[in-house]
Amino acid sequence: MEIAPSITQHTIVLCVEKRERGIAIQQILTKFGFKVVMALSLYDALKFIAQEMPHLVLTDAILSDGTAGTLYDRLQQHVLLKKTPILVQVLKKTKEELAPLTGRKFAGFMLGVSEPKMLIAKVLEVLKTHSVVSPYFISSEQANIKSELIIAIEANVVGRFGEQVVSRSSTEVDPSAAMVCVPDNAENGPAVFRMATNLKDGEETFNLFPINRIVGAGRIWILNLPEIKMGQQSLPEAAQKMHKVLFYDPSEERANGFAEILKGYGIDLVYAKTLNMAASILKRDFEVIEAIYLHELMNDASGIEWKNVNAKIPTDRRPPMVVGTTSINARSTAAVRYIKRPFGMGLFVEMLHASFERGKDIGEVAGKNAANAFAGVPVKYQAQASLVGIDETGGIIQLKFPLLKGSRMIIKHPLLERAWDGNGVVNITGSSALPGKPDVWQARFEAVQAGTSKAKYWEKVSKIFAVIEEPAEVKSA
Amino acid sequence: MDLTGSDLADTWQEKIAAFEFASPLLFANNLDEAQILLNNGGVFNLVIFSDQNSGNVQALLKAFQANVGCIADFQGIVCSNPSAAFMAGVFEFGVEQFFSLENWAEEVAALTRKTVETLSDPTSAESRTVNLSRSIRSADQAAIQKAAAAIKDLAEFDYRAAFAKGKACEATGDYNAAASSYAMSSAMNKMFRPGSASLGEALLVTGKVDEALEVFKTLEKTNPYDVERKANIAAAYIEKGDFESANRYVAMAEKIAPENSRVLEAKAQVLLCTGKVGEAFKLMDGMSEVGPFFAAKLNELGIQLSQSGKGKSALALYQKAHKIVRPELRYKISMNAALACRRLQAWDMALKYLARCQKEFGGPFPKLLKIKNSVNDAKAQSGGGSGGTTEEAS
């Protein structure tokens, strides 16, 4: 099965003789997104490799207390670690450096002191050849295990606000996700929720879903949820109010078209032709602006100016921001909601409407510490996924929408749950679409059960999945 | 379907080569060709390349809605920077997917995969909607009722299913039930404009003109560019006898799309109501896929003509009407034509119309059998009276 590129953060154990050179290489690799653990001796290298189970060992040919050859031999004796690719840096083509390398199957060599670009290219080449995900990665097919699984997010539906269902959970939900909301109480039917908006109030995360887009038997209990009332304003008053939205679009004609149509939806546009102009308006009128739409947000001077102005506004008064993007990998968060351009009218209007709510306001009336808050309906947001494979920290799943990095969710898969002693909670560490397939996403997860010792975790998991060779008896020298 | 006049005809195959499509793609660059493909019944996705909300875009979306159903997820528009008016225009059909010119091939590939997966589940709302739309298109009343029964349970909690059920009720002539289904659909999803628009039309057909007008005007606030709605508002004003307002809306609609069939309907309605039948007839030549409201108006006029002794004029009207109304509405015209023939004592012709009516309906039904018996009796008595008390259908 195809694996999405760049969803795995690779760990490299760097073994160098000289600390200064090690720090320089570490900086280059870290900047490129690798996790680097530096060892200044063979002894430390072996210790770190056993702990970290790296995807690559980058080592000098000569170390302070041994050679790359010894390192290779020691790893070959280890049933778990023998697949670890080793890339050797030969600084001088001397007999002393070259001799220990003969007769051993290293993953690659670099001669002389490498330029940063060459170093990265070589590292990527070796990783691609030896461990696209990890040297320990075993696909579901290889392990001959059932790939179908269910992902679930635990949440508590706390009420309705206007045309939105509000729930509290530990994680943000991507706006493009369609998930089945399954109440813990089987008397309440399930329903499909989509187009989430996330709000933050301190540590609390609120997921808002437009009622308009909910389909399924669960609509019945959803419509009976209590309404969340904000301050003194009643819902009909709130619905009739015109909402001011700061609207940046380089085309004035396009903006005028939006102004006319959005007025009918209760949205009053404050137009800015440039991002600088938008920044000035925000600086002056942030108290009356309820949401912001930016056609694009570049990393140029105007983008930086915008970010500076926005950052100076107190967090709880900062208007929510919807930013247009053409990238499919831009992931919305509570701070910035991305809308993929070109977009449709309904999606845009729903997104703007959801932006008028603030996490702090919701938190005050529906958060854990809110007085008289409705206890809520405990639910799970579920979606079908498939297990691409497992490795030393977790694995990769495939599904139809992106999962946000940092999300915490439950994986329901009989064998994984057994391996994790019934605790299926995982952390999502990366998510990406397959090239050319915007509807096929892969997400990398780390099992919370992994704890600190990857080796112990992998030993246990791999036994359950029967993917590890039984250790052979070691003949004494 | 390419409406941009680009070189897509030469390049599209090359562009799609790198991607996995779940179903074959068919290319069209003129409206007739695209409509033939849609009407053939094998098409489940519609992707339109256009940079504006032209009459052709509207015609294609309408044809898709009639042949496949109002399934937004099965349709997409390729346009990198659509205007708000374009977005609002296609949103009238529930369409919200826009693809950029750079990525359209991979997005369309994803669209086909999703469609095939959804339709492979016969219990999905989409599968049932497609079946129902196909039945409505076939105009076979028994098949419509069967497909409508299959979607009934979903209609209570899925706005798309409620909308489809409304269409089925319309096709079987039950406009009150259609109105309640549309009301349910638009209450479930206030942003689902096809539900609200059809609710307005059903209210208009059932004579609830003020309610219809309110629905149309609410929709008008969020998209003042929709031609058909302006024509519907005009029709509502005609019903209220306010010809000045009606003409104002007709003029506004005509300004946007003078050749639009629904605008012609509104104009013809004004002419019919002001007694200019001949001029109205001329306008009818340019109409197609006429909806239930104008079809009802034509039936009403035909009945009046027939009952006032102008049977031949009634038959001429029915003949014209039969050509322009939607397939599922044709059987009523045939039945009324048969009744007009019975009044004219043209027994054989009446029986011919009844046979056509039975074919269009998909089988015999009680009212048809009653008329048939009365015609046969009258024929046997060779010109003996009108032969019964059956009434025409509006």
For residue A237, the model assigns a pLDDT of 53
pLDDT digits (tens, 9 = 90+) for A77-123: 988 899 899 999 998 888 888 888 888 999 999 998 889 999 999 99
For residue A254, the model assigns a pLDDT of 95
Question: Which of B124, B126, B164, B137 has its CA nearest to residue B148?
Answer: B164
CB A43 within 8 A of CB A65: yes
CB B237 within 8 A of CB B246: yes
Nearest by CB to B82, from A212, A213, A342: name it.
A342
d(CA A393, CA A449): 9
Residues of A in contact with B222 (CB under 8 A): 261, 264-265
Residues of A in contact with B90 (CB under 8 A): 344
The shortest C-alpha distance from B326 to chain A (Å) reads 29
Nearest by CB to A265, from B160, B189, B222: name it.
B222
How confident is the model over B318-326, as a mean pLDDT?
A: 92
Range among A214-223, A311-320, A378-387, A441-450 rated most confident: A378-387
More confident residue, A467 or B2: B2
Question: The CATH number of A140-149+380-465 is which of 2.30.30, 2.40.10, 3.30.70, 2.60.40?
Answer: 2.40.10
For residue A144, the model assigns a pLDDT of 84
For residue B274, the model assigns a pLDDT of 85
Tally of domains within chain B: 3
For residue A448, the model assigns a pLDDT of 62
What is the pTM (predicted TM-score) of this model? 0.86
CB A465 within 8 A of CB A419: yes
The shortest C-alpha distance from B29 to chain A (Å) reads 23
A11-135 domain in CATH 3.30.420.40? no
For residue A4, the model assigns a pLDDT of 86
Q: Same domain, yes or no, for B133 and B115?
A: no
Output DSSP code: residue A410: E
Which residue among B119, B144, B176 closes a domain? B119
Residues of A in contact with B85 (CB under 8 A): 257, 261
How confident is the model over B112-125, as a mean pLDDT?
A: 95
Q: Does residue B305 belong to any structural domain of this protein?
A: yes
Domain assignments of chain A as residue spans, ordered by start: 11-135, 140-149+380-465, 151-366
Q: Does residue B276 belong to any structural domain of this protein?
A: no
Q: Same domain, yes or no, for B104 and B28?
A: yes
What's the mean per-residue pLDDT of chain A? 88
Q: Same domain, yes or no, for B194 and B293?
A: no
Instruction: Select from A223, A345, A399 the residue whose CB has the most chain B CBs within 10 Å, as the one to mutate to test that interface.
Output: A345
d(CA A290, CA B128): 41
Q: Does residue B263 belong to any structural domain of this protein?
A: no
Residues of B in contact with A267 (CB under 8 A): none
Strands A408-412 and A425-434: antiparallel
CATH number at residue B25: 3.40.50
More confident residue, A390 or A333: A390
Strand, helix or coil at B164? helix
Phi, psi of B349 (to 5 degrees): -65, -40
Q: Does residue B194 belong to any structural domain of this protein?
A: yes
Quote the percentage of chain B above a pLDDT of 70: 97
Test B223 with A263 for CB contact under 8 angstroms.
Answer: no
Which residue among B203, B223, B246 closes a domain? B203
Phi, psi of A406 (to 5 degrees): 95, -5
The shortest C-alpha distance from B358 to chain A (Å) reads 38
Q: Is residue B387 very low, low, confident or very high in pLDDT (cuts 50, 70, 90)?
A: very low
Size of interface A-B (CB pairs under 8 A): 99
User: What residues are paired with A180 via a beta bridge?
Assistant: A192, A382
Q: Which helix (H) or strand (E) holds B193?
A: helix B193-205
d(CA A320, CA A299): 19
Predicted confidence (pLDDT) at residue B389 exceeds the cutoff of 70: no
Predicted confidence (pLDDT) at residue B70 exceeds the cutoff of 50: yes
The shortest C-alpha distance from B224 to chain A (Å) reads 8
d(CA B373, CA B352): 13
Q: Does residue B357 belong to any structural domain of this protein?
A: yes
Does A401 lie at the interface with B, CB-CB under 8 angstroms? no
Test A349 with B191 for CB contact under 8 angstroms.
Answer: yes
Strands A108-111 and A336-340: unpaired
pLDDT digits (tens, 9 = 90+) for A295-349: 999 888 999 999 999 999 988 888 999 999 998 777 777 678 889 999 999 999 9
More confident residue, A357 or A380: A380
Test A343 with B96 for CB contact under 8 angstroms.
Answer: yes
Residues of A in contact with B82 (CB under 8 A): 342
d(CA B350, CA B344): 9
Q: Is residue A132 very low, low, confident or very high in pLDDT (cuts 50, 70, 90)?
A: confident
Q: Same domain, yes or no, for B366 and B330?
A: yes
How confident is the model over A262-280, as a mean pLDDT?
A: 96
Nearest by CB to B98, from A263, A343, A350: name it.
A343
Q: Does residue B262 belong to any structural domain of this protein?
A: no
For residue B193, the model assigns a pLDDT of 96
Which residue among B144, B168, B203 closes a domain? B203
d(CA B324, CA B297): 13
Q: What is the CATH number of domain A151-366?
A: 3.40.50.2300
Output DSSP code: residue A342: S
CB A324 within 8 A of CB A347: no
Q: Same domain, yes or no, for B134 and B113?
A: no
pLDDT digits (tens, 9 = 90+) for A402-444: 998 888 999 999 888 888 888 889 999 999 999 999 999 999 9
CB A419 within 8 A of CB A459: no
CATH number at residue B314: 1.25.40
Nearest by CB to A439, from B96, B114, B158: name it.
B114
Phi, psi of A395 (to 5 degrees): 165, -160
User: What residues are paired with B186 via a beta bridge?
Assistant: none
ipTM for the predicted complex: 0.87
Q: Same domain, yes or no, for B74 and B165?
A: no
d(CA B349, CA A456): 90
Q: Is residue B128 very low, low, confident or very high in pLDDT (cuts 50, 70, 90)?
A: very high
Residue of A nearest to B223 (CA): A261
d(CA B338, CA B311): 11
Strands A108-111 and A86-90: parallel
For residue A470, the model assigns a pLDDT of 46
CB A383 within 8 A of CB A150: yes
pLDDT digits (tens, 9 = 90+) for A23-68: 999 999 999 999 999 999 999 999 999 989 999 999 999 999 999 9
CB B202 within 8 A of CB B165: no
Q: Does residue B161 belong to any structural domain of this protein?
A: yes
Predicted confidence (pLDDT) at residue B254 exceeds the cutoff of 90: yes
Instruction: Select from B74, B95, B126, B158 the residue whose CB has the most chain A CBs within 10 Å, as the one to mutate to test that interface.
Output: B158
| Cα angle: A68, vertex A69, A71; to 5 degrees | 65
Output the CA torsion A325→B7→B43→B118 (10° steps). Answer: -20
More confident residue, B281 or B212: B212
Q: Same domain, yes or no, for B309 and B384?
A: yes
Does A18 lie at the interface with B, CB-CB under 8 angstroms? no
More confident residue, A223 or B48: B48
Predicted confidence (pLDDT) at residue A280 exceeds the cutoff of 80: yes
pLDDT digits (tens, 9 = 90+) for B327-351: 888 999 999 999 999 999 999 999 9
Q: Does residue B92 belong to any structural domain of this protein?
A: yes
| Cα angle: A74, vertex A78, A84; to 5 degrees | 80
Domain with B59, as residue range(s), is 8-119
CB A436 within 8 A of CB A390: no
- Identical fold for domains A11-135 and A151-366, yes or no, is yes
Residues of A in contact with B87 (CB under 8 A): 261, 343-345, 348
Strand, helix or coil at A242? coil
How many residues does the structure list for chain A? 477
Residues of B in contact with A346 (CB under 8 A): 91, 94, 96, 191
